[in-house]
């Protein structure tokens, strides 16, 4: 499908119709009610409640006023609906603001001022500096004579650097007057969401001389919501408008994620539902039997002799209605409320604010905080997530000479400085590549300093290092680059840029040296993509060794290379390159092919080594979280050795002898599968031992493993607590998440870059680091945090508390509903199993919504253990991971408690209020107040952390109950007129209440104390320790405890023939030989490259 | 580079107000004890001392309360006289239902001896057993609106099957009113009539607000089957206190309802003659009928349950306190001992 956009032609573009009205709203004024209702009723629970409410309208079977169900139902629907409406209204307001912004467009050669929403496809939009782009435009002209302009795309992809955009070649040199009258056609794909691709063609109509088809790329576009910077004006033709823009298409409602806890609550709800059906059936049968045997004799009931056909159904249905409160109608609303608050706590947490940038944490998904406490696997990216992504040039190796090895900083290596002053060709070429083989834009600040705007941190580091080594990249004037070397101005003209892609793993530029007119190809890239293209005669061995050496130090390496091109060669190639650039289908792939044609016979200049420091607190965080029983997988696009080094330095894996590293690799498929089997075997034998075993796999092997040995790999994944996957593609990252999820593990994916987006979206919980690689990951994520170390707090503090709180809240909700329902059931046995409700309608309606909801909501600030204790004993997270606080057996406990309390309340009430006091309304109120009193004490007993709010809500709620009932009792027309005043003036009422509390709470309190003291859970022990201030709180104790264990296990012997090479801190032990196998290695890596790019291609085709 | 980064964003900020820098800074959360979840709190733990003390205190409060309640209940003098069986003449006992539905005179004489001095006011109750006033069909069969005011007398939807007679609404309608209890008692002591006051036996609020002063019985007990008692047609409902009492439905199948008050003291061994009209049919469902004379205490009528329950709960609490003390002394356990943490003993963490 293609779209043809006719520039400046209203008629022709008419059929594309849509204007630039942006609409992010979910509803309109008209469809809000039907749509919202439909949405709410798509939930099973709501359908169920609606059915109950409808049944209640049948007065023959309803035990109480239908309002007792309709009231809460409507209330709950109103709450959800108004939340939706509020959100939607805000979306509408922001849309409206964007839509009504004034923009300039050019129509028939005249500039007009219109609202942004009136822009049509094909209109020429005129922008001034710092204007926001109103829709997706194809650039036609800019104030810059070269047709360059700069945009900030932060709103689109979160990258804060300026990007260069150029006008299409066909538009070069068209003057302003003509520009306004321009006619032409743009052939572009139908709107899609890929913000990195725009494969289109443009043809201008006469009178323009250049009538050839001219290819357009993303570089020729201005996308909606970007800002025009450092450019006086720019104009472009709109190709996508409104919701069809790239940004508009990117939006989309994410699938709501369901937490493990929600699933468990649903399961329990299901169980209760079944229980309810059983109760209803039993009581229904009993009721019908009683009716036929007993009630017929009771003349005052006047059962008719002839009954309608549905007579048998009446009693069961009545019980169904009576028991419908077993499933608490308010649980959904309560959960939504507290979940919202959990998310707010995360955002409010000042300890999770990145001090450097002032970025607070942000919870985009408010519904899954409990899952944080149940994480079992963390899949983490390396660069920018574990590391700072703050690149610093540290060392280099030029022509076989290592610089910076002594002091660890090549910039201060006198040997290098000498080589520069002496003018060594290799060194100067090396510096030139460092300075200009990139897409960096130097900008002069007001103070006169040069600031580099780079898309990648590596390039930034290289350019800055080059500048410090006297090769200063001074300015970029369209295609003309200016270098200042020792006071001498060098000029290069950029002819082509062969861009970096993750498949190619290298980038090159073709420049023309203005000094001597020579055309040079400058390349930089990963070793395995550069070294195979080395010139035949060159010894790449020293380079490979240098790479290996640097990788072992945990440095990121780039190989720099150079080749002089013959003019003919370049021109010939240039045609092909242009062709490839204008292909509409598979353009990326074709370009890569063409690039390969030029990038060969390279003269390898040397290797740069860039340090990417670990973020603060990463090792501690990982250690703590591993202690908490969370397994870590590192998924990185980086080299194996770099990855292993980083893994070692951040406690990811332990050095020998405690840790063991198993490699899965191989040169052929068989090798890989054999290696996989061997690792699996080792893994099976070692799982019983307290040893850190990790496996390392790279992207190529991973692909084979996933394709052919999925079962084995899954088993491996289950067995291994740690894994390092290097050189993996974004889609492989997502696949790994998928595998762990399929084994029923709770996964958390954390990353910072665009390449992590897929895994973040795939995982149960996606966490984005709002870091230097832009905000793309943070936007896709459920949570975004500033630094990796906040993960510890996010999981151990917020996740754990959320889990505990929800566990209490949900079970308590069932408890209170069951309690009142059991009393109704008991009452039915003394009311002729006829389905009479003991409680009046008002009480039933208010019970779930008012009387019992407030105290339980305050459990959102309950803390069983202080944050410090949890941090010191992360193992306690186990209770959450294993779901110890909410599962069928804890639920059974609550079920039993409600049964017990129901018996207590019921028995005491009917005995204390027997004979002359057994008035219906009074008895009902006594039983209800008994329930409310017990509620208050149960909440109080289960609260660990009493703040003012807790006291206020628990005891205030009790007072509120009486106030509310006094109010009801003051209304003469209500059924309970004066009841509460009468009761409260009777001493027997209060005596009964105390008895209910004493009898109801005594055994529970005793049981709790017994368990707490004699069968304590770990949480209890820590609570005791924390509050008694025992020796456990001294850090030294904790530190020494694991140490002694380490000593016990330290001697390791070689046990089995499948023993894998151990990892140690000494470089020799881990070093993989590069000796005779080196050529194979290259061969292999080349095949890897092609196979992996083939893989991504497949993905794209899908 | 920090400098690089800072200046680039500064340049951006110069351009637009909502650039990333300013937005981020405004996102910095405000500090407050609540938002940081650091509100000052008391974190109680169950130390043996506190728990034992709590149980002791509870037992110390409950046992005396139990004793007091029990005494209060014991102070109440209560005379219960079951008459449903005895008031049927021996020949008719084979078919009690036929007797009670028959036209024969149902007067019955009973003699009650006062066992102990009874201080006024003495309440006269009738007690019904196995009578389900709380039955779903029964309890709903009334119209409060109709009872309250004349203009609502047609609101009889809930009253079926006793809603109307030949299309004219029954006032008071419904099964409850229809089945009004109609045994009557005339008490005499030493051949002197003992005045049983029927004034003020119903709740004041009911008389004043629930039963209208200008609502008179209409078409009552005119249907094909007669249920219970009849009402005096020209007395407003608000003054028909027997009806008002009856319409306060009981929640339990055994219940007492106030019949009247005796406002003189009765002495020990006083003999009271009761002439009762045994009109009400409880025989078809084996219900018992009792006449009850009772004084009250501050806790109400004679009911040992509260006292016994208090003593039991208090006793259990005392026992628990004792048991916990013994357990504490025999098997002291240090709270919060880190050696109980499994990960401090077993290597390899929580799993």
What single DSSP character describes residue B194?
P
Q: Are B248 and A919 in contact (CB under 8 A)?
A: yes
ipTM of predicted complex: 0.91
- What one-character-per-residue DSSP string does B121-177 give? PEEEEEEEES--TT-HHHHT---HHHHH-GGGTT--GGGTTSSEETTEEPBS-SHHH
What gap in Å lies between CA A239 and CA A237, rounded to an integer?
A: 6
Give residue B18's pLDDT band: very low, low, confident or very high (50, 70, 90).
very low
What gap in Å lies between CA A293 and CA A309, rounded to an integer?
A: 19
Give residue A295's pLDDT band: very low, low, confident or very high (50, 70, 90).
confident
pLDDT confidence of residue A701: 86
Given CB atoms, is A835 within the 8 Å cutoff of chain B?
Answer: yes
On chain B, the residues whose CB falls within 8 A of the CB of A349 are: 29, 35-36
Q: Stretch A664-680: mean pLDDT, rounded?
A: 84
The distance of B166 to chain A (nearest Cα, Å) reads 18
Give residue A816's pLDDT band: very low, low, confident or very high (50, 70, 90).
very high
On chain B, the residues whose CB falls within 8 A of the CB of A460 are: 1, 4
b/e string for B87-108 if b means 16 or more Cβ within 10 A?
Answer: bbeeeeeeebeebbeeeeebeb
pLDDT confidence of residue A15: 59
CB contact under 8 A, B285 and A978: no
Q: Is the peptide bond before A516 cis (omega within 30 degrees of 0)?
A: no
Q: Scanning the structure block, which residue is given the tokens 């219940």? A: B255
Q: Stretch A613-619: mean pLDDT, rounded?
A: 85
Helices and strands (DSSP H and E) totals, chain B: 11, 11
pLDDT confidence of residue B76: 93
Q: Are A543 and A607 in contact (CB under 8 A)?
A: yes
CB contact under 8 A, A300 and B209: no
What single DSSP character describes residue A774?
B
C-alpha angle A764-A766-A769 in degrees, rounded to nearest 5: 165
pLDDT confidence of residue A1059: 30
Q: Stretch B5-27: mean pLDDT, rounded?
A: 39
The distance of B254 to chain A (nearest Cα, Å) reads 6
| Cβ pairs A/B, distance under 8 A | 329
pLDDT confidence of residue B340: 66
pLDDT in tens, B141-153: 889 888 988 888 8
**Which candidate, A169, A163, A218, places its Cα nearest to that of A192?**
A218
Mean pLDDT lowest for which of A191-200, A602-611, A720-729, B174-183?
A191-200
A192: which 2 tokens?
A: 């899609």
CB contact under 8 A, A302 and B324: no
Given CB atoms, is B135 within the 8 Å cutoff of chain A?
Answer: yes
pLDDT of A1025 higher than 90 = no
Q: Evaluate if pTM is beyond 0.95.
A: no
pLDDT of B14 higher than 60 = no
The shortest CB-CB distance from A130 to any of B16, B317, B348 is to: B16
pLDDT confidence of residue B257: 94
On chain B, the residues whose CB falls within 8 A of the CB of A129 are: 15
Question: Within the 182-221 window of chain B, which residues sit less than 8 Å (CB to CB) from chain A?
Answer: 203, 205, 209-210
**Which candidate, A138, A100, A387, places its Cα nearest to that of A245?**
A138
**Which candidate, A359, A357, A336, A361, places its Cα nearest to that of A346?**
A361
Given CB atoms, is B15 within the 8 Å cutoff of chain A?
Answer: yes
CB contact under 8 A, B336 and A1023: yes
SS (H, E, C) A428-456: HHHHHHHHHCCCCEEEECCCCCEEEECCC
Q: Is the peptide bond before B161 cis (omega within 30 degrees of 0)?
A: yes
B317: which 2 tokens?
A: 């609490």
pLDDT confidence of residue A1060: 31
Q: Count CA within 13 A, CB hemisphere, residue A516.
A: 4
pLDDT of A1050 higher than 50 = no
pLDDT of B132 higher than 90 = yes
The count of other CB atoms within 10 Å of the CB of residue B23 is: 13
What gap in Å lies between CA A189 and CA A239, rounded to an integer?
A: 10
pLDDT confidence of residue A1092: 34
The distance of B206 to chain A (nearest Cα, Å) reads 9
What gap in Å lies between CA B193 and CA A91, rounded to an integer?
A: 85
pLDDT confidence of residue A111: 81
Q: Are A523 and A506 in contact (CB under 8 A)?
A: yes
What single DSSP character describes residue B228?
S
Give residue A793's pLDDT band: very low, low, confident or very high (50, 70, 90).
very high
On chain B, the residues whose CB falls within 8 A of the CB of A294 are: 285
Given CB atoms, is B337 within the 8 Å cutoff of chain A?
Answer: yes
Q: What is the overall mean pLDDT for chain B? A: 84
Q: Stretch A950-974: mean pLDDT, rounded?
A: 91
pLDDT in tens, A482-505: 888 888 888 898 888 887 776 777
The count of other CB atoms within 10 Å of the CB of residue A173 is: 13
What gap in Å lies between CA A330 and CA A327, rounded to an integer?
A: 9
The count of other CB atoms within 10 Å of the CB of residue A908 is: 24
b/e string for A438-447 if b means 16 or more Cβ within 10 A?
Answer: bbbbbbeeee
What is the sign of the dihedral through the CA atoms of A1039, A1045, A1051 and A1057?
negative
pLDDT confidence of residue A1096: 31
Q: Stretch A526-555: mean pLDDT, rounded?
A: 83
CB contact under 8 A, A302 and B139: no
Measured CA to CA in angstroms, residue A391 lies from A635, A776, B341 at distances of 20, 20, 43
Give residue A280's pLDDT band: very low, low, confident or very high (50, 70, 90).
very high
Q: Stretch A588-617: mean pLDDT, rounded?
A: 85
pLDDT of A1068 higher than 70 = no
Percent of chain A with pLDDT over 70: 89
Give residue A1095's pLDDT band: very low, low, confident or very high (50, 70, 90).
very low
The shortest CB-CB distance from A348 to any of B35, B209, B331 is to: B35
Q: Stretch A321-340: mean pLDDT, rounded?
A: 85
The count of other CB atoms within 10 Å of the CB of residue A1053 is: 6
**Which candidate, A477, A470, A508, A717, places its Cα nearest to that of A597?**
A508
What gap in Å lies between CA A374 and CA A259, rounded to an integer?
A: 9
On chain A, the residues whose CB falls within 8 A of the CB of B313 are: 995, 998-999, 1002
Q: Are A326 and A319 in contact (CB under 8 A)?
A: no
What single DSSP character describes residue A190?
P
pLDDT of A672 higher than 60 = yes
The shortest CB-CB distance from A918 to any of B8, B205, B255 is to: B255
Mean pLDDT lowest for which of A3-12, A750-759, A833-842?
A3-12
What gap in Å lies between CA A144 and CA A164, rounded to an integer?
A: 12
A82: which 2 tokens?
A: 């108004």
pLDDT confidence of residue B4: 41
pLDDT confidence of residue A690: 64
pLDDT of B121 higher than 50 = yes
Is A1016 in a helix, a strand, or coil? Answer: coil
What gap in Å lies between CA A331 and CA A79, rounded to an integer?
A: 13
Q: Stretch A439-456: mean pLDDT, rounded?
A: 78
Mutate to test the interface with A, among B28, B174, B336 (most CBs of A within 10 A): B336
B331: which 2 tokens?
A: 């098997």
A154: which 2 tokens?
A: 């932060």
pLDDT confidence of residue A893: 94
pLDDT confidence of residue A1035: 38
On chain B, the residues whose CB falls within 8 A of the CB of A878 are: 350-351
Q: What is the arrangement of strands in the sheet containing B271-277, beginning at the earlier edge strand?
A: B107-113, B271-277, B184-189, B192-193
The shortest CB-CB distance from B134 to any of A920, A991, A1009 is to: A920
CB contact under 8 A, A161 and B8: yes
Q: Stretch B306-325: mean pLDDT, rounded?
A: 95
pLDDT confidence of residue A108: 73
Given CB atoms, is B298 within the 8 Å cutoff of chain A?
Answer: yes
- What one-character-per-residue DSSP string does A472-511 give? EEEEEETTEEEEEETTEEEEEEEEEEE---TTT-EEEEEE
Q: Which stretches within chain B are classed as H helix?
A: 2-15, 20-26, 48-75, 96-101, 136-139, 144-148, 175-178, 204-205, 241-247, 305-330, 342-345
What residue of B is the nearest CA neighbor of A837? B136
Q: Which of A435-444, A669-678, A903-912, B278-287 has the highest mean pLDDT?
A: A903-912
Give residue A688's pLDDT band: very low, low, confident or very high (50, 70, 90).
low
pLDDT in tens, A972-1007: 888 888 999 999 999 999 999 999 999 999 999 999
On chain A, the residues whose CB falls within 8 A of the CB of B348 are: 690
Q: Are A400 and A542 in contact (CB under 8 A)?
A: yes
Q: Which residues of A are catalytic?
A: 381
pLDDT confidence of residue A502: 65
Q: Are A506 and A600 in contact (CB under 8 A)?
A: no
On chain A, the residues whose CB falls within 8 A of the CB of B281 are: 299
pLDDT confidence of residue A160: 57
Using CB atoms within 10 Å of the CB of residue B194, give its burial: 0 to 12 exposed, 13 to 18 middle, 19+ buried. buried
The distance of A883 to chain B (nearest Cα, Å) reads 13
Question: Within the 149-168 window of chain B, which residues sit less than 8 Å (CB to CB) from chain A?
Answer: 157-158, 161-162
In A921-1003, where do the E strands start and end?
A: none
CB contact under 8 A, B29 and A353: yes
Mean pLDDT lowest for which of A14-23, A845-854, B19-28, B319-328?
B19-28
The shortest CB-CB distance from B139 to any of A356, A920, A922 is to: A920
With a CB cutoff of 8 Å and minimum separation 6, the contacts of A488 are none
pLDDT of A818 higher than 50 = yes
B234: which 2 tokens?
A: 């020209």
Measured CA to CA in angstroms, residue A131 lies from A138, B135, B288 at distances of 16, 76, 93
The distance of A350 to chain B (nearest Cα, Å) reads 6
With a CB cutoff of 8 Å and minimum separation 6, the contacts of A529 are A504, A505, A506, A1085, A1089
Give residue A25's pLDDT band: very low, low, confident or very high (50, 70, 90).
confident
Q: Stretch A513-530: mean pLDDT, rounded?
A: 87
pLDDT of A28 higher than 50 = yes
Q: Are A239 and A5 in contact (CB under 8 A)?
A: yes
Q: What is the overall mean pLDDT for chain A? A: 81
Given CB atoms, is A1044 within the 8 Å cutoff of chain B?
Answer: no
CB contact under 8 A, A987 and B298: yes
pLDDT of A1075 higher than 70 = no
Phi, psi of A197 (to 5 degrees): -135, 135
């Amino acid at each position: 499908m293609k779209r043809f956009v006719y520039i400046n032609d209203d008629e022709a573009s008419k059929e594309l119709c849509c204007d630039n009205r942006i609409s992010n709203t979910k509803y309109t004024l008209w469809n809000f009610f039907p749509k919202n209702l439909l949405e709410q009723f798509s939930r099973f629970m709501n359908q169920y409640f609606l059915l109950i409410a409808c049944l209640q309208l049948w007065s023959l079977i309803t035990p109480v006023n239908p309002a007792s169900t309709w009231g809460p139902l409507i209330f709950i629907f109103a709450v959800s609906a108004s939340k939706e409406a509020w959100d939607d209204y805000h979306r509408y307001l922001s849309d409206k603001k964007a839509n009504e912004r004034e923009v300039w467009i050019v129509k028939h050669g005249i500039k007009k001022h219109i609202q942004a929403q009136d822009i049509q496809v094909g209109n020429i939009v005129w922008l001034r500096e710092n204007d926001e782009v109103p829709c997706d435009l194809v650039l036609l002209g800019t104030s810059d004579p070269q047709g360059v302009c700069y945009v900030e795309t932060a709103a689109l992809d979160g990258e804060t650097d300026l990007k260069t955009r150029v006008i299409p070649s066909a538009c070069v040199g068209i003057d302003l007057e003509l520009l306004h009258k321009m006619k032409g056609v743009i052939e572009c794909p139908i709107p899609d969401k890929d913000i990195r691709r725009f494969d289109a063609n443009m043809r201008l109509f006469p009178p323009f001389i250049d009538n050839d088809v001219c290819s357009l790329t993303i570089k020729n576009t201005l996308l909606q919501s970007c800002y025009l910077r450092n450019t006086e004006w720019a104009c472009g033709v709109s190709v996508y408008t409104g919701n069809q823009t790239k940004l508009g298409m990117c939006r989309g409602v994410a699938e709501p994620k369901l937490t493990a806890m929600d699933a468990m609550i649903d399961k329990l709800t299901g169980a209760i539902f079944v229980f309810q059906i059983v109760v209803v059936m039993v009581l229904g049968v009993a009721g019908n039997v009683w009716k036929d045997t007993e009630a017929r004799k009771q003349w005052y009931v006047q059962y008719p002799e002839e009954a309608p056909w549905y007579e048998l159904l009446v009693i069961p249905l009545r019980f169904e209605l009576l028991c419908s409160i077993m499933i608490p109608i308010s649980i959904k609303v309560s959960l939504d409320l507290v979940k919202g608050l959990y998310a707010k706590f995360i955002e409010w947490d000042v300890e999770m604010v990145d001090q450097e940038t002032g970025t607070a944490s942000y919870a985009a998904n408010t519904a899954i905080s409990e899952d944080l406490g149940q994480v079992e696997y963390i899949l983490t990216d390396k660069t920018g997530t574990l590391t700072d992504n703050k690149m610093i040039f540290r060392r280099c190796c030029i022509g076989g000479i290592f610089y910076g090895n002594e002091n660890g900083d090549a910039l201060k290596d006198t040997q290098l400085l000498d080589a520069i002053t002496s003018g060594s060709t290799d060194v100067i070429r090396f510096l030139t590549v460092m300075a200009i083989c990139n897409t960096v834009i130097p900008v002069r600040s007001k103070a006169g300093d040069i600031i580099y705007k780079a898309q990648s941190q590596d390039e930034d580091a290289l350019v800055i290092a080059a500048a410090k080594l006297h090769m200063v990249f001074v300015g970029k004037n369209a295609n003309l680059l200016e270098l200042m070397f020792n006071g001498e101005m060098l000029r290069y003209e950029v002819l082509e840029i062969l861009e970096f892609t993750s498949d190619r793993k290298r980038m090159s530029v073709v420049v023309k040296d203005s000094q001597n007119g020579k055309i040079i190809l400058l390349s930089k890239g990963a070793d395995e993509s550069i070294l195979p293209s080395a010139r035949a005669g060159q010894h790449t061995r020293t380079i490979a060794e240098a790479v290996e050496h640097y990788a072992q130090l945990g440095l990121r390496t780039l190989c720099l290379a150079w080749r002089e091109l013959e003019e003919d060669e370049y021109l010939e190639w240039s045609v092909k390159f242009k062709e490839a650039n204008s292909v509409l289908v598979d353009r990326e792939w074709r370009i890569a092919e063409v690039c390969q044609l030029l990038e060969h016979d390279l003269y390898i200049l040397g290797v740069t080594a860039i340090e990417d420091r670990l973020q603060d607190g990463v090792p501690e965080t990982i250690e703590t979280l591993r202690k908490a029983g969370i397994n870590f997988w590192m998924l990185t696009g980086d080299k194996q050795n770099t990855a292993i080094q980083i893994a070692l330095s951040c406690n990811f894996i332990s050095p020998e002898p405690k840790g063991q590293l198993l490699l899965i690799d191989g040169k052929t498929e068989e090798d890989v599968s054999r290696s996989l089997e061997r690792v699996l075997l080792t893994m099976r034998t070692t799982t019983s031992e307290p040893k850190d075993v990790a496996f390392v796999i790279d992207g190529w092997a991973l692909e084979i493993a996933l394709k052919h040995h999925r079962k084995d790999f899954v088993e491996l994944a289950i067995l291994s607590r740690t894994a390092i996957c290097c050189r993996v593609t974004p889609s492989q990252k997502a696949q790994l998440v998928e595998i762990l999820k399929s084994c029923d593990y709770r996964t958390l994916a954390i990353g910072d870059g665009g390449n992590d987006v897929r895994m973040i979206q795939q995982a149960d919980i996606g966490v984005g680091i709002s870091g230097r690689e832009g905000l793309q990951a943070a936007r896709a994520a459920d949570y975004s945090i500033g630094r990796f170390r906040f993960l510890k707090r996010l999981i151990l503090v917020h996740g754990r508390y959320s889990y505990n709180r929800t566990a209490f809240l949900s079970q308590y909700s069932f408890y209170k509903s069951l309690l009142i329902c059991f009393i109704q059931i008991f009452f039915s046995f003394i009311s002729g199993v006829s389905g009479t409700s003991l409680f009046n309608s008002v009480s039933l309606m208010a019970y779930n919504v008012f009387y019992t909801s407030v105290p339980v909501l305050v459990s959102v600030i309950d803390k069983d253990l202080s944050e410090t204790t949890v941090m010191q004993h992360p193992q306690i997270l186990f209770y959450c991971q294993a779901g110890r606080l909410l599962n069928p057996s804890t639920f059974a406990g609550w079920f039993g408690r409600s049964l017990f309390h129901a018996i207590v309340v019921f028995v005491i009430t009917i005995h204390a209020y027997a004979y002359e006091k057994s008035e219906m309304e009074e008895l009902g109120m006594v039983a209800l107040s008994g329930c409310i009193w017990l509620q208050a004490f149960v909440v109080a007993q289960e609260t660990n952390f009493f703040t003012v709010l807790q006291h206020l809500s628990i005891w205030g709620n009790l007072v509120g109950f009486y106030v509310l009932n006094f109010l009801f009792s003051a209304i003469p027309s209500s059924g309970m007129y004066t009841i509460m005043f009468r009761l409260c003036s009777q001493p027997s009422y209060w005596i009964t209440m105390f008895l209910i509390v004493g009898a109801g709470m005594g055994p529970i309190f005793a049981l709790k104390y017994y368990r707490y003291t004699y069968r304590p859970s770990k949480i209890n022990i820590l609570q005791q320790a924390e509050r008694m201030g025992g020796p456990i709180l001294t850090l030294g104790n904790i530190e020494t405890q694991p140490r002694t264990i380490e000593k016990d296990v330290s001697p390791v012997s070689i046990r089995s023939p499948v023993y894998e090479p151990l990892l140690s801190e000494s470089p020799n032990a881990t070093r993989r030989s590069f000796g005779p196998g080196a050529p194979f290695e290259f061969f292999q890596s080349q095949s890897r490259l092609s196979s992996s790019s083939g893989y991504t291609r497949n993905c794209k085709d899908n | 580079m920090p400098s690089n980064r800072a200046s680039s964003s500064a340049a951006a900020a110069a351009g637009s107000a909502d650039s990333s820098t300013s937005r981020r800074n405004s996102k910095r959360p405000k500090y407050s004890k609540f938002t940081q979840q650091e509100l000052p709190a008391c974190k109680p733990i169950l130390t043996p001392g506190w728990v034992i003390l709590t149980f002791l205190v509870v037992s110390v409060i409950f046992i005396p309360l139990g004793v007091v309640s029990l005494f209060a209940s014991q102070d109440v003098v209560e005379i219960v006289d079951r008459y449903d069986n005895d008031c049927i003449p021996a020949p008719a006992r084979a078919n009690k239902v036929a007797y009670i539905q028959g036209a024969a005179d149902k007067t019955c004489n009973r003699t009650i001896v006062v066992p102990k001095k009874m201080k006024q006011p003495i309440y006269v109750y009738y007690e019904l057993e196995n009578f389900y006033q709380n039955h779903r069909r029964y309890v709903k069969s009334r119209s409060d609106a109709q009872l309250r005011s004349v203009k609502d007398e047609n609101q009889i939807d809930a009253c079926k099957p006793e809603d109307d007679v030949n299309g004219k609404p029954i006032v008071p309608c419904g099964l409850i009113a229809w089945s009004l209890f109609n045994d009557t008692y005339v008490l005499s002591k030493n051949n002197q009539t003992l005045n049983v006051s029927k004034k003020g036996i119903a709740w004041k609020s009911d008389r004043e607000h629930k039963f209208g002063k200008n609502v008179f019985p209409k078409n009552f007990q005119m249907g094909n089957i007669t249920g219970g008692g009849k009402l005096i047609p020209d007395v407003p409902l608000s003054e028909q206190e027997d009806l008002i009492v009856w319409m306060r439905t009981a929640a339990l199948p055994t219940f007492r309802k106030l019949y009247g008050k005796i406002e003189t003291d009765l002495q020990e061994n006083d003999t009271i003659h009761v002439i009762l009209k045994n009109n009400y049919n409880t025989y078809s469902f084996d219900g018992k009928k009792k006449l009850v004379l009772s004084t009250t205490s501050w806790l109400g009528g004679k009911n040992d349950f509260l006292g016994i329950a208090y003593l039991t709960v208090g006793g259990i609490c005392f026992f628990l306190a004792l048991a916990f003390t013994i357990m504490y002394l025999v098997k002291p356990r240090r709270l919060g001992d880190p050696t109980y943490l499994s990960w401090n003993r077993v290597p390899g963490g929580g799993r």
